[in-house]
Structure 1
Amino acid sequence: MKSDMSRRYHTRVVTNIVYSAIITCLVEVFVVANMTMIARYMEDAGKLNRLAELLLSMNAAVVLVYVVSGILLFSVTFLLLQEPSIRYISHISDAIQNISEGDLNTTIDVIGDDEFSSMAANLNKMAEDIRQLMEKERESERTKNELITNVAHDLRTPLTSIIGYLELLAGNTRIDPEMQHKYIEIAYGKSKRLEKLIEDLFGFTKLNYGKMSMHVAQLDLVKLLGQLLEEAYPNFAEKNLSYDLQSNVPAKMISADGNLLARLFDNLIGNAIKYGADGKRVLVQIFAGEEVVTVSVTNYGYVIPPDELPLIFNKFYRVERSRSSSTGGTGLGLAIAKEIVDMHGGTIGVTSDLNGTVFTVKLQVHFDVNKENFGTIS
């Protein structure tokens, strides 16, 4: 393609040279013929002068004048024909100067189909790529600052409580054993929360930067969800919640990474427990098809405002209510869930109204990690 554009450009230059030469020849022939005719007329009329004699003699000086005039005429004609290209090159040069000075909003109109238009298109693309790269860098910097702020906020609160209760235990020997046991339980609970926060941060970092490898194998999704619900029973009991697992099949084997799916649905179940306490029930449903299996986790508690639904899977995003001490977290649980779903080539969505908040996950039954089939489920 580059050679084709170069050929077209060279053809246009040669064409302009030919046009200039033809115009020059025509004008030269017209001038020479008319000047000679005028000189002969003056000779016949007896009005011959020095200039007329020179024109009739066609000596070296006259020929030189004609040659110089022809060269000048050819040059002017060629420059006029090449003027659009010269002006276009000037625009490209100005744009390059602006871009080099940091004005990445500079764009060049792509005119024609030659090397210069290709250069203009490439410069526009380069400027756009640099803009996107700088935006990504700014987003990365913003995310880093947000990470530091969130980590500082989320880790400081339980850490302050742990230090406070341990200072009470260490500095006051007259605390009765029952109160000591209560303080220790509180400090232990806060420590477990710290562990979960740190685990989420490390887990998200590994997933987000592709440092976690997948180990795909056959697993029974119905059995996996049943085990996760049973393991979460103490949390359900603490919130006075019941749970119900419904499936259209008694068992469903799929290809997936069992550890990652366990983390995915553990996050969704934990999220339902946190925000579903008002509804007294969590419903997990499985609908297995030939190629796709759909899992929905429904709680009947806090309704997520419609304007917050598109943001719910963003990292560090939390609805305002979730900043309370009873439900606070890193804001990474759902972001981790989405990363895991994406790694399995599936989809995850959420709806929330008075009929419940429903997280719906769709996974491929036959998943091959070596194929580029991410995002194919609709």
Structure 2
Amino acid sequence: MKKYSHSKLTKFIVFIIMIAFFSGTITTLVKIMTIPFNSVLQKSYFESAAYIQESQGLISDLTKLMGEFKNEENILNGGTISEDELKDKEEELYFQFQNSKKYNPKLSEEENYEQFKKEYADEIAHERDKFIQRDLREYHLLLQNMDDYETPLFYASDGTNVYTNTTMKERQEFETYPAFFIFDHYDQEIYPKETRENDYLYWITDQVNELDPENTVIYLAFPDKFLNTNIKEWKENSALSAKNLYKLTYLVPGFILSFIYLALVTGRKSFRDQEVHLNVIDKLYNDINVLLCVSLIALYTVLLDLLFEMNNKMILPITVLIAAIGFVLIFSLIKHGKNKTLIKHTLLYNLISQFAHFIGDVYRNGSLAVKTVLLAVGYPLLVALTFFIFPVTLGVAAWFALKKIKSFNAIQAGVEEIKAGNLQYHIDIKGRGEFARLAENINSITDGLRNAVDNELKSERLKTELITNVSHDIRTPLTSIITYVDLLKNEKDPTKIEEYVGVLDQKSKRLKVLTDNLFEAAKASSGDIPVHLEKIDIISLINQGLGEVGDKILARNLEFKLNFPADKLFVTADGRLLWRSIENVLSNIFKYALEGSRVYVDIEDLGNDVRLVFKNISASELNISADELMERFKRGDESRTSEGSGLGLSIAKSLIEIQRGKFSIQIDGDLFKAIIVLPKYSQE
């Protein structure tokens, strides 16, 4: 075996054997495909799919006629149109209406839909008529099909309409035949009895069961002559299928074993040989090889269709010829796979590699001037080398020059637009050339200018809002203080004096809180706060902090649900500033959370970071975006009746950011989420 295993003669003989096995397998499979394969698995004709298929088409047509269409009047009245398909068409038309000038955004959706129904009444009626015409065509086509059925003999009625291809009308007449199906209202009788064992019987019964049994009568009968012919054909097909299956039991293993053997020994001179020996055929590029293999398969498929109709005897020789050529190409690919040159030995890879190498050299070693010189020198050389396709070369050069001119004009027009003050203008130059980089740099400058303008406008707006909101919030307690001071001047009653002093005390404390918060917000946003980063146990901090605000939790009847890992989590933060941020979030929860609701606190380990999430249900509807709520002096209650200053979340965000963390909020309906992300403590 060692002596002859890799010899050329042994390989040639095994190759011939493999082609014989493969061709035999293919031709056998072709024969199996031409006959009902499952006939070999069935005991008798009455248990076969072929027997059920003789009635399936007729039953399907009768089911549609009696169940879906009923009669022409029902179709004309729209009885066959489903609500879903009509609704789908209405939705398509309504979408057109929404994008038209007739749509009024000031009206409610219901009012717009009523307007749509009036405006598009003709279009909706037209679509309905199209459905009716479609069903009428199918209905009359089915009536024509009834005339084409010679067997089985049938009589069907839904109590009004009758469909038949025989003069028989009574059940007893159909029961005289050797095989029949009787569906008489709720009664079903099938003969011969072995038909009930047919695995495909549901193809018929499921369709009949969809009809109204109260009025439905369907009788089917098969004459002796028809059955004898079909049974004989079925037995012949069954025997042929068994014979072909037996062939496959030795053809397929023979082909697989011979193919595996050749795949192992091809390109080698012995089992110990590590070198792959290539021949003339292996010089063919692998991508061209694959293309040829695909072409051979396509050619064989076309020839197979032609030979089925013209000459079946030619299938085997054509299969042998194409298989021999195809497997020679396949074994060449296997050799390159062993040689690890399956990709490298392709025409596409070589062209791309050489072109990439050339382009790389130009870009690495030359400036724009060098590239221009190379182009000026290289183009005449290219024309000289490709003189026989000069029009193509000239066309490529013209296309390249036109593309560059368009890029230059686009940049020039973009600069003019930006100079005119249109900072939203974007110069769109595709590719990776000099013009593309220049356009990208100009766009970056434009983006910077636009961001600067936007930031300046936002800053001005915030300043205006700050002045307005500060004035409003400070004026309220200040007005109260002035009023009660005036009352104190003229009041003699000690009880009322004490009451006025209490109010003054409350309002002055309120004024102090506002000024302190304003001062803290200014310091936080400017970053002018000393930060001492250290190792903080975030889980312990939360547990300890919730214990300190337990009275506030009880006052609002809130239930806190904590979810955190079993192991301790440490973050790098300033403990005082971190607790101040968390305290602001909790204060926001105590002010605006729905009383008696749950508050969820989740602590998650993200690998390099730790995320802290607070979730609560707001007591009032949040008609404000998350970005607006983060702005200074913004509150969840726009009426500004609560005791908050609107600075808590803004301060928390600034304090977290100066600790190298991230703070964000999310609003989903009435669900409010505050998210704090801090860097995880590392000993490095």
Question: Which amino acid is 1:215 matched to?
Answer: H
Report how far residue 149 of structure 1 moved: 1.3
Report matched runs for 1:282-301 at 5 Å: 285=601, 287=603
Report if aligned partners of 1:6, 1:114 keep a CA contact under 8 Å in 2. Answer: no
Q: Distance in 2 between matches of 1:212 and 1:233?
A: 29
Q: Distance in 1 between matches of 2:682 and 2:535?
A: 10
Question: Which amino acid is 1:8 matched to?
Answer: K
Question: Which amino acid is 1:102 matched to?
Answer: G
Normalising by structure 2, what TM-score? 0.37
Report how far residue 345 of structure 1 moved: 2.4
Match status 1:148 vs 2:148: no
Report how far residue 113 of structure 1 moved: 5.7
Residues 67-103 of structure 1 deviation map (CA, whole Å, 9 limit, x = unaligned) = xxxxxxxxxxxxxx98986776566445434433323
Report how far residue 153 of structure 1 moved: 1.3
Q: Which of the numbers 336, 347, 369 marks the counterpart of 2:651? A: 336
Residues 239-271 of structure 1 deviation map (CA, whole Å, 9 limit, x = unaligned) = 565776868679876542121122112212222
Gaps of 5+ in 2: 1-362, 385-399
Q: Which of the numbers 122, 127, 137 marks the counterpart of 2:441? A: 122
Normalising by structure 1, what TM-score? 0.62
Indicate how the Cα distance of structure 1 residues 122 and 277 shifts in structure 2: closer, same or farther if over 3 A, else same.
closer
Report if aligned partners of 2:661, 2:677 keep a CA contact under 8 Å in 1. Answer: no
Equivalence for 1:320: 637
Report matched runs for 1:340-351 at 5 Å: 340-342=655-657, 343-346=659-662, 348-349=664-665
Indicate how the Cα distance of structure 1 residues 5 and 154 shifts in structure 2: closer, same or farther if over 3 A, else same.
farther
Q: Which of the numbers 175, 181, 192 marks the counterpart of 2:509? A: 192
Report how far residue 194 of structure 1 moved: 1.9
Report how far residue 347 of structure 1 moved: 5.1
Equivalence for 1:100: 419
Q: Distance in 2 between matches of 1:348 and 1:106?
A: 31
Report matched runs for 1:224-263 at 5 Å: 224-225=541-542, 228-229=545-546, 232=549, 239=555, 241=557, 254-263=571-580
Report how far residue 333 of structure 1 moved: 0.7
Q: Distance in 1 between matches of 2:506 and 2:490?
A: 21
Match status 1:172 vs 2:487: no
Report matched runs for 1:40-51 at 5 Å: none
Gaps of 5+ in 1: 23-80, 372-378
Q: Distance in 1 between matches of 2:444 and 2:631?
A: 29
Indicate how the Cα distance of structure 1 residues 83 and 360 shifts in structure 2: closer, same or farther if over 3 A, else same.
closer
Report if aligned partners of 2:625, 2:667 keep a CA contact under 8 Å in 1. Answer: no
Report matched runs for 1:55-74 at 5 Å: none
Match status 1:213 vs 2:530: yes
Equivalence for 1:47: none
Q: Distance in 2 between matches of 1:288 and 1:85?
A: 53
Report if aligned partners of 1:235, 1:273 keep a CA contact under 8 Å in 2. Answer: yes
Report how far residue 8 of structure 1 moved: 1.8
Q: Distance in 2 between matches of 1:252 and 1:85?
A: 58
Question: Which amino acid is 1:130 matched to?
Answer: L
Question: Which amino acid is 1:340 matched to?
Answer: L
Q: Distance in 1 between matches of 2:404 and 2:675?
A: 58
Q: Distance in 1 between matches of 2:557 and 2:409?
A: 73
Q: Which of the numbers 591, 595, 608 marks the counterpart of 1:274? A: 591
CA RMSD of superposed structures (Å): 4.5
Question: Which amino acid is 1:4 matched to?
Answer: S
Report how far residue 337 of structure 1 moved: 2.0
Q: Distance in 1 between matches of 2:556 and 2:440?
A: 64
Residues 82-128 of structure 1 deviation map (CA, whole Å, 9 limit, x = unaligned) = 89867765664454344333233444443676554443332233223
Equivalence for 2:371: 8
Equivalence for 1:30: none
1 or 2 for the larger relative contact order (CA 8 Å, sep ≥6)? 1
Match status 1:157 vs 2:491: no
What SS is found at the alignment partner of 2:585?
helix
Q: Which has the larger radius of gyration?
A: 2
Report if aligned partners of 1:344, 1:367 keep a CA contact under 8 Å in 2. Answer: no
Report if aligned partners of 1:344, 1:364 keep a CA contact under 8 Å in 2. Answer: yes
Indicate how the Cα distance of structure 1 residues 214 and 92 shifts in structure 2: closer, same or farther if over 3 A, else same.
same
Report if aligned partners of 2:480, 2:507 keep a CA contact under 8 Å in 1. Answer: yes
Residues 155-205 of structure 1 deviation map (CA, whole Å, 9 limit, x = unaligned) = 111111112112222x2141x223222222222222222222222222222
What SS is found at the alignment partner of 1:195?
helix
